[in-house]
Amino acid sequence: MTSPADSFADLGLSTSLLNTLAEIGYETPSPIQAQCIPILLDGHDILGMAQTGTGKTAAFALPLMETIDVKLMKPQALILTPTRELAIQVAEALQSYAKNLPGFHVLPIYGGQSYTIQLKQLARGAHVIVGTPGRVMDHLERKTLNLDNLKTLVLDEADEMLRMGFIDDVEWILEHTPEQHQTALFSATMPEQIRRVAQKYLVEPREVKIKAATATVAAIRQVYWQVSGMHKLDALTRILEVEDDFDAAIIFVRTKTATVELADKLNARGYAAAALNGDLNQQMRERVIEQLKSGALDIVIATDVAARGIDVPRISHVVNYDIPYDTEAYVHRIGRTGRAGRNGNAILFVAPREIRMLRTIERATRQPIAPLTLPSRADVTNKRVADFKSKVAEVLNAEGLDFFANIVSQIAEEQNVSAEEVAAALAMMAQEGKPLQIAGEDPPPARPFAPDNRGERRPASFGDRERKPRFEGGDRPRFEDKPRRPAPTGDMVRYRIDVGREHGVQVKDIVGAIANEAGIESRFIGRIGLYEDSSTVELPAGMPAEAANALKRTRVRGVPINLRPDEGRPDGGGERKFDGDRGGFKKKKFGDR
């Protein structure tokens, strides 16, 4: 096994890429990065067993970047991912690594996105393609994607692609790639079918196996705020004001620049804050930590590397202002609070596109992270008023107020107003740039993230029995509902697709294809009936035209499904007609002509 590397400079990366990593805030490679990067730089194929959240994106992306010829505007690397969310996440990571590589272009392609947009982008040229199997396969068949110049092929989360029914598409793509290229396959588990693919398509691969960090501190309250409808800075200040047991905090961001910018903004809002990053020398770093310990500072904004080794008992809160790249970083971050037998608080800001990382952190730490409701204007106002009253009460209990009481009486007499009105004016003056009543409106509540129900089972009960549908020609459909999904609510429309039992299709294949290509979560997919040469599936009424069109071109196990409304339901329902206004199909009501 490769010995742990102390820095990325030990791994053989170029100076340009090392400078980029330093700017991003990377200094010490994770175990999978330390093992995989030298192997890939040496040109070997690799078979990696690693969970999401171990830092494997950088493990394959950084060596890949070293092979790119920016002058050649043709795909030189292809990364296959099971979902559009992961494709976007990987593409964004590659773009950040290319900060000092002018002209570099990475293109994510996935189902549910307009073909017109993708065709234009492919025509302009891209160095790296990150895509889902179905859409990549579609472009290869259309000859709108050319892999003649391919140097590197990455299969990311191969077991997830198997689970979603894409493994046949993956093999088809592998068979349509140039013979000479480097292949990296990553999978959290290694089922027999994935092992078979590796043996068939990888050449003398080196194997790397990494375990994800699973430990965390039980005394830490973990919550997340869904980034929506308000700037993160405004949300941060609201949360910090209303938290009852707030004493001191470390706020984690990804870059050194962000530490300085956020510290300046918080200072401007009246907080005692300072930046802590790799640009500070040891003396300045120690001074910041000492100020945090003594109470001269209440907030430190830090990068992962700069915060290592901080042990300040008064840190009551850790805020993940930028979500970490891997679970190990998250565990290290929140470990800065909840020390010396105290309770701690960890707050995570999560954008909708970062939901995968949130679920990965929950699985890795084996603890649920509850949603945090953003404090309202009324909540903040009430807290500020309560603090103001407390300060006034302290002064009222002090001695030596006679002089000031005399001044208030004089003002009241001169202005012909009451003492209460003078007190109100003084209270307004005492706000010191931090008004007791905040202006503006509360943003609308964010649509909550869907729960992660993968792998859940519920016991069958008497009421769970499905009625057997009527069938024609002796072709009895088989309704498979294990694991059972909660029945979707709202109007549903039944569609027919051209894949069935004779194609070896299973319910999970259909669910995976629809979820990936049309962006319809599995919980919104209704009953699926498997016939010999076709299947039926219930989908929400009023499906957007773009999603419907994407599904018409979708493949399951390499077969075009040709989605269309089912002409007459086996359970006796009415026929459907196309609803041009809503972009989907609707029930044909009595009296329609």
pLDDT at 518: 72
pLDDT tens column, 492-542: 888 888 888 877 788 888 888 887 777 777 777 888 888 878 889 988 877
CB atoms within 10 A of CB 393: 9
Task: Tell me whether residue 455 is in a domain.
Answer: no
Is the model more confident about 507 or about 592? Answer: 507
> Mean pLDDT for the chain?
80
Same domain? For 285 and 369 the reply is yes
Q: Which amino acid is at 462?
A: F
DSSP 248-289: EEEEE-SSHHHHHHHHHHHHHTT--EEEE-TTS-HHHHHHHH
Residue 448 located in a structural domain: no
Q: Which residues contact 590 (CB under 8 A, 6 or more apart)?
A: none
User: What CA–CA distance (Å, rounded) separates 261 from 139?
Assistant: 43
d(CA 592, CA 468): 29
Q: What is the CATH number of the domain that holds 59?
A: 3.40.50.300
Among 315-319, 494-498, 574-578, top mean pLDDT goes to 315-319
Q: What is the pLDDT of residue 61?
A: 95
- Please state, in angstroms and as integers, the Cα–Cα distance from residue 301 to each residue in 325, 331, 346, 420, 559, following that order: 17, 17, 14, 42, 52
Structure confidence by residue, pLDDT tens digits, 375-410: 877 777 777 777 778 778 878 887 778 888 888 888
**How buried is residue 494: exposed, middle or buried, by Cβ count under 10 Å (0-12/13-18/19+)?**
buried
Spatial separation of the C-alpha atoms in residues 266 and 242, rounded to whole Å:
16
Pick from 145, 204, 137, 218: nearest CA to 175: 137
Q: Do 355 and 416 have their domain in common?
A: no
pLDDT bracket for residue 474 (50, 70, 90): very low
**Strand pairing category for 206-209 and 315-320:** unpaired
Between these two residues, 544 and 209, which has the higher pLDDT value?
209
pLDDT attached to residue 238: 87
Render pLDDT for 412-436 as a digit per residue (tens, 0 to 9).
Answer: 888 888 888 888 888 888 776 667 6
Same domain, 77 and 186: yes
pLDDT on residue 449: 64
User: Is the per-residue pLDDT at 228 higher than 60?
Assistant: yes
How far apart, in whole angstroms, are the C-alpha atoms of residue 73 and residue 385?
61
Residue 118 lies in a domain: yes
The answer on 97 and 160 residing in a single domain is yes
Is 135 a member of any domain? Answer: yes
Q: 44 pLDDT exceeds 80?
A: yes
- Residue 486 binned pLDDT confidence (cut-offs 50, 70, 90): very low
Residue 288 sits in the same domain as residue 198? no
346 and 419, same domain (yes or no):
no
Shared domain check, 195 and 307? no
β strands within 505-583, DSSP E = 528-530, 535-540, 555-556, 559-560, 564-565, 576-579
- pLDDT tens for 185-226 read 999 888 899 999 999 999 999 999 887 555 555 678 999 998
| SS3 sequence of 210-223 | CCCCCCCCCCEEEE
User: Which residues span the domain enclosing 365?
Assistant: 220-377
Q: Which pLDDT band holds residue 578 (cuts at 50, 70, 90)?
A: very low
Q: 413 with 484, same domain?
A: no
Is residue 461 predicted with pLDDT exceeding 60?
A: no
The answer for residues whose C-beta is within 8 angstroms of residue 439's C-beta and 6 or more apart is none
- Among 283-297, 414-428, 571-585, the range scoring the smallest mean pLDDT is 571-585
- Tell which wins on pLDDT, 444 or 562: 562
Is the pLDDT at 125 greater than 90? The verdict is yes
pLDDT tens readout for residues 138-167: 999 999 999 999 999 999 989 888 888 888
Q: Are residues 486 and 538 in the same domain?
A: yes
Give the residue from 496, 493, 524, 498 showing the smallest Cα distance to 511. Answer: 524
Torsion of CA 379, 382, 383, 384, to 10 degrees: 120
Q: Looking at residue 319, what DSSP letter applies?
A: E
Task: Tell me if the pTM is above 0.75.
Answer: no
Any domain includes 300: yes
Those residues whose C-beta lies under 8 Å from the C-beta of residue 279, and which sit 6 or more positions away, are: 256
Total tally of structural domains belonging to the chain: 4
Q: What is the mean pLDDT of residues 358-379?
A: 85
* Integer Cα distance of 552 and 24 in angstroms: 42
What's the whole-number mean pLDDT along residues 285-308?
Answer: 88
Distances (CA, A) of 523 to 82, 193, 312, 485: 18, 27, 44, 6
Segment 553-579 shows an average pLDDT of: 62
- For residues 41 and 119, membership in a common domain is answered with yes
pLDDT higher at 32 or 229: 32
In a domain, 422, yes or no: yes
Q: Is residue 490 part of a domain?
A: yes
Residue 92 lies in a domain: yes
Q: Based on the domain organization, do 164 and 31 belong to the same domain?
A: yes
Residues 278 and 373 in one domain: yes
**Higher confidence at residue 21 or residue 305?**
21
Structure tokens belonging to residue 196: 């078979």
Looking up residue 556, the CATH number of its domain turns out to be 3.30.70.330
